[in-house]
């Protein structure tokens, strides 16, 4: 094992400073930001699923300002043409019979790529995007060039329905839900925003493309052998549960496990680094099942002093906790003396919990929680 990673912790510190800045600015988005760090270090693509207005674009834009490189952002529609993504043909060279793309300021020159509403991609650009995402190569006619991209982030408010888009979705190894911030955190959101406003003139943390590339190179020097048996067993457990994990994906996921170790400044992976496996779902219904299986492995390593902080956080909603909170709010709502401001808080919180309820894949548990939510909504509507 080379000692080189230990000589490059400076780059890891820079990456962690970037992630901390994002967490301070985007309260309640720690999960997504930690996964951004994992994918950036592991040179894999990240997919964000969520409705408009949940700061998906804002987080990626802020990240792009912290990376000393070029970025490219585009909102895809069904009518998006290749020229809008990759650039138009160079007219001067076209006169000479050469089909050469003018890529200045376009996707092929970007280090960080953000494709919003990714699943609106049409067949005209689909094949080119697949090659960009999987092989990091831009090919158009006789043009064939390697891309400098260090990470691609895709976003959508829905999952793929047809097979062609499923192939595009499959190029994003990690998938995470981007929801509205818990109303209970609103005060923290306002406080963080005001503090950052006061520090607006101060220097933000930065990281160079060279530093990111060094981190991505260091990934291959992490020793994964101590967890090899546990990893193979976990893959088999997930496959036996009906989760399709191809050999190709199993190989690529090792990079993200190594990235978890690297961000914790370790040269050896430990079982809790497999927390990243929670985010390989294809459908929302799979999330709870995968998290349950992965957590049985991760929890065995909970006492390790150097584990990734995200390893001890379980994002899957607990039906009992939601039920208890809804019943408490229902009791408060019946109190005729509570002020209108308190009733507004209850409505906002109930709206948030209703969204969380959708993530409970077990039908019986979801009904157990959804019924009192619906009952409270009826009372709220009657109240006017």
pLDDT at residue 2 in the model: 44
pLDDT at residue 96 in the model: 65
pLDDT at residue 336 in the model: 84
Give 35-51 pLDDT, tens digit per residue: 999 999 999 999 999 98
pLDDT at residue 6 in the model: 60
- SS3 sequence, the chain? CCCHHHHHHHHHHHHHHHHHHHHHHCCCCHHHHHHHHHHHHHCCCEEEECCCCCCHHHHHHHHHHHEECCEEEEECCCCCCHHHHHCCECHHHHCCCCCCECCCCCHHHCCEEEEECHHHCCHHHHHHHHHHHHHCEEEECCEEEECCCCEEEEEECCCCCCHHHHHHHHCCCEEEECCCCCHHHHHHHHHHHHHHHHCCCCCCCCEEHHHHHHHHHHHHHCECHHHHHHHHHHHHHHHHCCCCCCHHHHHHHHHHHHHHHHHCCCCECCHHHHHHHHHCCCCCCHHHHHHHHHHHHHHHHCCCCCCCHHHHCCCCCCHHHHHHHHHHHHHHHCCCCCCHHHHHHHHHHHHHHHHHHCCCCCHHHHHHHHHHHHHHHHHHHHHC
Contact 69, 313 (CB under 8 A): no
Q: Is the pTM of this model over 0.75?
A: yes
* Domain spans of the chain, in order of start: 4-198, 222-312, 319-383
CATH topology of domain 4-198: Rossmann fold (3.40.50)
Give 173-232 pLDDT, tens digit per residue: 999 999 887 777 767 777 776 766 665 546 789 999 999 999 999 999 999 999 999 999
Residues of the chain with pLDDT under 50: 1-3, 201
pLDDT at residue 313 in the model: 73
Pairing of strands 46-49, 112-116: unpaired
Token pair 């949940």: residue? 54
């Amino acid at each position: 094992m080379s000692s080189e990673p230990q000589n490059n912790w400076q780059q890891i510190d820079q990456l962690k400073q970037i992630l901390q800045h994002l967490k301070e600015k985007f309260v309640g988005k720690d999960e997504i930001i930690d996964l951004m760090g994992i994918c950036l270090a592991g040179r894999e693509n990240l997919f964000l699923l969520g409705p408009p207005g949940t700061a998906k674009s804002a987080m990626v834009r802020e990240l792009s300002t912290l990376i000393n490189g070029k970025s490219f952002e585009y909102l895809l529609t069904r009518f998006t043409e290749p020229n809008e993504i990759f650039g138009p043909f160079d007219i001067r060279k076209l006169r000479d019979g050469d089909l050469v793309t003018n890529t200045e300021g376009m996707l092929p020159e970007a280090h960080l790529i953000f494709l919003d509403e990714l699943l609106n991609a049409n067949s005209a650009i689909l094949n080119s995007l697949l090659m960009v995402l999987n092989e990091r190569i831009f090919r158009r006619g006789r043009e064939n060039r390697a891309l400098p991209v260090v990470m691609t982030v895709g976003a959508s408010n829905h999952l793929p329905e047809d097979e062609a888009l499923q192939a595009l979705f499959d190029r994003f190894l990690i998938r995470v839900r981007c929801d509205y911030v818990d109303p209970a955190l609103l005060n923290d959101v306002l406080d963080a925003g005001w503090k950052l406003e006061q520090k607006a003139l101060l220097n933000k943390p930065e990281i160079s493309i060279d530093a990111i590339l060094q981190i991505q190179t260091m990934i291959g020097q992490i020793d994964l052998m101590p967890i090899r048996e546990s990893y193979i067993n976990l893959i088999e457990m997930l496959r036996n549960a009906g989760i399709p994990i191809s050999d190709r994906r199993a190989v690529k996921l090792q990079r993200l496990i190594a990235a978890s170790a690297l961000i914790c400044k370790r040269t050896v992976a430990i079982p809790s680094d497999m927390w990243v496996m929670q985010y390989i779902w294809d459908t929302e219904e799979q999330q709870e099942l995968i998290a349950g299986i992965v957590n049985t492995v991760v929890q065995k390593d909970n006492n390790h002093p150097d584990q990734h902080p995200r390893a001890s956080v379980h994002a899957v909603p607990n039906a009992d906790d939601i039920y208890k909170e809804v019943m408490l709010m229902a009791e408060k709502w019946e109190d005729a003396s509570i002020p209108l401001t308190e009733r507004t808080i209850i409505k906002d919180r109930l709206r948030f919990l209703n969204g969380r309820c959708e993530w409970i894949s077990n039908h019986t548990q979801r009904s157990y929680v959804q019924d009192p939510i619906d009952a409270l909504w009826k009372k709220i509507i009657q109240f006017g």
